[in-house]
Amino acid sequence: MAEPTYRFFDVHVLRTHRLSRSLLRVVLGGPGLETVVSGGRDQRLKLFLPQEGQEEPVLPDVLDTGWYARWRGLDPAVRGIMRTYTVRDVRRDPGELDIDFALHGDLGPASRWAAAAAPGDRAALLAPVVTDNGGVDFRPPEGTDWVLLCADETAVPAVAAILEWLPAGTPVRAWISVAGEADRIALPTKCEAEVSWVTRPSPVAAAVEAAAFPAGRPYAWLAGESALVREVRRHLVGPRAFPRASVTFTGYWRAGASEDALLEESA
Ligand SMILES: Cc1cc2nc3c(=O)[nH]c(=O)nc-3n(C[C@H](O)[C@H](O)[C@H](O)COP(=O)(O)OP(=O)(O)OC[C@H]3O[C@@H](n4cnc5c(N)ncnc54)[C@H](O)[C@@H]3O)c2cc1C
């Protein structure tokens, strides 16, 4: 039987660290975490959180490849709350994993949990244990001359990891939609990166539309609120004539819908 690419881990909060007004890094530890292997870039994982009044998230008894159907079969009011996040970094010896949360108030359980996270708080992860795990979408095709990134706060962790991962000298144009100046962070990179922070309500799509692009074959990666992603993609594959295969786009969240609602829609 094929080796699993993801495994479940019981984790607890080790510490938190504020990166900007809206971004909070939560550093997690736990048994076996040194075996997590991130593919880098926009590597995704699943985070499971306890419901109100629980000490730890409730997961199915058997966590094999059938875990998802079993999790769905549990009472939604009792089962662990499942959310998707980016592996911002992993370290061995000791095993630690960073998730950067874009805090958006009390509205969502994950945002609420992160804002209150304290050492010892318990959670669980379904995290990658091999590099080639199917959870990385940022894949510039061979022959790419320059990279376009477009994101909001939720995709800043992925943008930061992408900028760390790309080879030195890669031309990158990035547009990031944020609520204000206090939401900006430093984005260290060896790329030739030009990062434009676009403060809402200014539309990020308009900033992309007004820009002169570098010459050569582009690869675009778009992530954040669904409408933002859709609008920028439409511009790139329309007036800018980017080949569809050269645009990777992911709605990280949708205004007015929780991740549970989105999951139900796609079920
Ligand atoms: C592949 C992938 C990687 C992701 N990586 C990250 C990451 O590294 N960091 C990160 O912070 N998020 C990330 N997200 C987005 C995150 O999963 C969603 O924002 C998620 O909805 C947060 O869960 P919640 O429990 O806080 O809110 P939910 O219960 O899912 O939603 C409650 C309400 O809050 C709204 N909402 C959700 N997110 C936001 C937001 N950011 N701002 C304003 N309103 C919001 C919803 O529309 C809904 O109305 C990622 C998503 C995907 C698909």
Write out the DSSP string of 123-167.
EEEEEESSS--S-----PPTT--EEEEEEEGGGHHHHHHHHHHSP
pLDDT in tens, the chain (267 residues): 677 899 999 999 999 999 999 999 999 999 999 999 999 999 999 999 999 999 999 999 988 889 999 999 999 999 999 999 999 999 999 999 999 999 999 989 999 999 999 999 999 999 999 999 999 999 999 999 999 999 999 999 999 999 999 999 999 999 999 999 999 999 999 999 999 999 999 999 999 999 999 999 999 999 999 999 999 999 999 999 999 999 999 999 999 999 999 999 988
Check residue 99 and give its pLDDT: 98
Which CATH number among 1.10.730.10, 2.40.30.10, 3.40.50.10800, 2.60.15.10 corresponds to the domain 6-134?
A: 2.40.30.10
Nearest-CA residue for ligand 1 atom 7 is 85
**What does the alpha-carbon distance between residue 131 and residue 32 come to, in Å, rounded to a whole number?**
16
**What does the alpha-carbon distance between residue 254 and residue 257 come to, in Å, rounded to a whole number?**
6
Nearest-CA residue for ligand 1 atom 12 is 154
- Answer whether 21's CB lies under 8 Å from 183's CB: yes
Which atom of ligand 1 lies nearest, measured to the CA of 111?
A: 26
Task: Determine whether the shortest distance from the Cβ of 266 to ligand 1 is under 6 A.
Answer: no
Q: pTM for this structure?
A: 0.97
Q: How far is the CA of 261 from the centre of ligand 1 (A)?
A: 12
| Ligand 1, pocket-test mutation among 154, 159, 183, most atoms within 8 A of CB | 154
Nearest-CA residue for ligand 1 atom 4 is 85
Check residue 252 and give its pLDDT: 98
Nearest-CA residue for ligand 1 atom 24 is 108
Strand blocks (E) in the chain: 6-18, 23-29, 44-49, 81-86, 89-91, 96-102, 122-128, 146-152, 171-178, 192-199, 218-225, 247-253
Query: Per this entry, what is the length of the chain?
Result: 267
Find the Cα–Cα–Cα–Cα dihedral 14, 15, 20, 24, rounded to 10°. 40
**What does the alpha-carbon distance between residue 81 and residue 54 come to, in Å, rounded to a whole number?**
11
Task: Determine whether the shortest distance from the Cβ of 135 to ligand 1 is under 6 A.
Answer: no
Check residue 128 and give its pLDDT: 97
Which residues contact residue 100 at a Cβ distance below 8 angstroms, ignoring those fewer than 6 apart? 19, 23, 24, 25, 26, 86, 88, 156, 157, 160
> Residue 227's closest CA among 209, 205, 198, 243?
205
- Answer whether 149's CB lies under 8 Å from 174's CB: yes
Domain ranges of the chain: 6-134, 146-253
Nearest-CA residue for ligand 1 atom 38 is 253
Which CATH number among 3.40.50.80, 3.30.1490.100, 3.10.129.10, 3.40.50.2030 corresponds to the domain 146-253?
A: 3.40.50.80
